[in-house]
């Protein structure tokens, strides 16, 4: 079998458990996902230290770190660089940009990148800009990939963590651009009926004020209702 196909098949998918691994970071050795059990975390890879786009991303992640913490979510950076390179880059960011990076950065020898499928041959030998959102049970909920030339929108990553937690808690789905959806604003979607009887009951329930519907398959409500 082609090696590239084997790697693609071994890459983690949505719903998979995050692969167990021991990693060396700027904050010491960590066992993932074990050491973050009970917390969500965002692991994001970057192509290399001392590169302009990556620097802007790390500053943006750090400036939103408290927002992630409020969501019981930790941040972990990663690239195929040695620890001393990460530390020196952190020092440069603090000295030149007056921002202290306080979340850990994994120093990878290539093993983590290989396990997570972070090196894409068509985009060079560096790690691509990947984002793994992992829930409090160690399950991968979101995977995002960006090319090296495009920096990520960190506000969007905050948004998806918050949206997924709400979806889990209230057993609902989240509309496009939530909480500023063009049709239902900040309201949330009730999952579609899965049988004929439930479909018939939907519009009746909406008449009682339990929620609102455009049709039986598109019903929505405010959080808390």
Q: Which residues are catalytic?
A: 54
What three-state secondary structure class fits 5?
helix
The end-to-end CA distance of the chain, in Å, is 53
Which one-letter DSSP state was computed for residue 193? P
Tracing tokens 């929108």 back to the chain, one arrives at 153
Closest CA to 116 of 34, 49, 17: 17
Instruction: For the beta carbon of residue 138, count every other beta carbon within 10 angstroms.
Output: 20
Question: How far apart are the C-alpha atoms of 199 and 65, rounded to whole Å?
Answer: 43
Question: How far apart are the C-alpha atoms of 23 and 131, rounded to whole Å?
Answer: 17
Annotate 46-58 with b (16+ C-beta within 10 A) or e (fewer). Answer: bbebeeebbbebb
Phi, psi of 94 (to 5 degrees): -70, -40
């Amino acid at each position: 079998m082609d090696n590239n196909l084997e790697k693609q098949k071994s890459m983690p998918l949505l719903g998979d458990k995050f692969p167990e691994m021991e990693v060396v970071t700027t904050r010491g050795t960590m066992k993932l996902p074990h050491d973050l059990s009970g917390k969500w975390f965002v692991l994001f890879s970057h192509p290399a230290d001392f590169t302009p786009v990556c620097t802007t991303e790390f500053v943006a992640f750090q400036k939103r770190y408290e927002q992630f913490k409020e969501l019981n979510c930790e941040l972990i950076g990663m690239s195929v660089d040695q620890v001393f390179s990460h530390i020196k880059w952190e020092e440069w960011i603090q000295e030149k940009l007056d921002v202290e990076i306080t979340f850990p950065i994994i120093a990878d020898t290539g093993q983590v990148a290989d396990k997570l499928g972070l090196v894409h041959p068509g985009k060079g030998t560096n790690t691509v800009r990947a984002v793994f959102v992992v829930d409090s049970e160690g399950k991968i909920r979101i995977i995002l990939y960006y090319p090296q030339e495009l920096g990520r929108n960190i506000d969007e990553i905050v948004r998806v963590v918050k949206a997924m937690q709400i979806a889990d808690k209230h057993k609902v789905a989240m509309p496009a651009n939530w909480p500023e959806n063009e049709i239902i604003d900040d309201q949330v979607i009730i999952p579609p009926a899965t049988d004929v009887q439930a479909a018939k009951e939907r519009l009746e329930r909406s008449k009682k004020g339990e929620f609102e519907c455009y049709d039986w398959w598109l019903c929505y409500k405010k959080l808390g209702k």
